[in-house]
Each structure stands twice: as C-alpha cells, then as structure tokens.
Structure 1
Amino acid sequence: MEDLNLLKRKLDDMNVYDLFEYVKENYPENEELWIGSKKIIIRKILNFERNRMNEEDF
C-alpha cells in the first residue's frame, strides 16, 4: 500500500504533459488510461496498479 501512496504523490507532482507521457510509456497497452482529466487519469492508474497487486497475491 505504501507503493501506491508513493505513486500517487509522484503522479500528483507531474504536470499534465508529463503525466500523459508517463502513461504512454508505462501503460502502452491500456489506451483508456490516457483519457480524462489529470485527477481521473491518476485514479485510473492507481486502480490499475491496485488490481495488478491483487492479482499477484492470488
């Protein structure tokens, strides 16, 4: 959970252009993550990472 908090802080500190580039680079297969306001994109990324962590636990 700490990782998600660190990721959220990192994403919050980015400007919109840097956030867009970060998403394109790190999640190229998930184009739906690129769409929306900064707040929505950050929420989508955090949810995606949370789901990925839950899948790894099983």
Structure 2
Amino acid sequence: MREHDLSNARWRKSSYSNGEGGSCVEVADGILVRDSKVEDSPVLLLTPAAWADFLDTLRH
C-alpha cells in the first residue's frame, strides 16, 4: 500500500452532517473521504471518475 501525505488536505464537512453525532463525512480535494467522528479514521482516495459516479448514484 502506498502512503499519501494528507497534512495539507483541506477537509470540508458534509452539509448533511450535524452536531448531534449524526452521519459525519468529510471530503477533501484530491478526492479524499473520511469519517469525521473517528479520530485518525481511514481515508478513501478516489479518482475523479469514481467520485463523479458516486455523486451520480446519490442523485438518483
């Protein structure tokens, strides 16, 4: 497995996340996805095409 430097990632919390422990997903440029409720959670690194497919699936 290849390591990636995430120290400069600019994370944005999903607008569907809430302050009551709800589903908290953060996304960063690159396309990185993580669970914001879990400190040091694993990070998914997606290709732009995979991210577009994911968003398309959510919309439908």
Could you tell me the TM-score, scaled by structure 2's length? 0.29
The structure where helix makes up a greater share of residues is 1
Which structure has more relative contact order (CA 8 Å, sep 6+)? It is 1
Could you tell me the TM-score, scaled by structure 1's length? 0.29
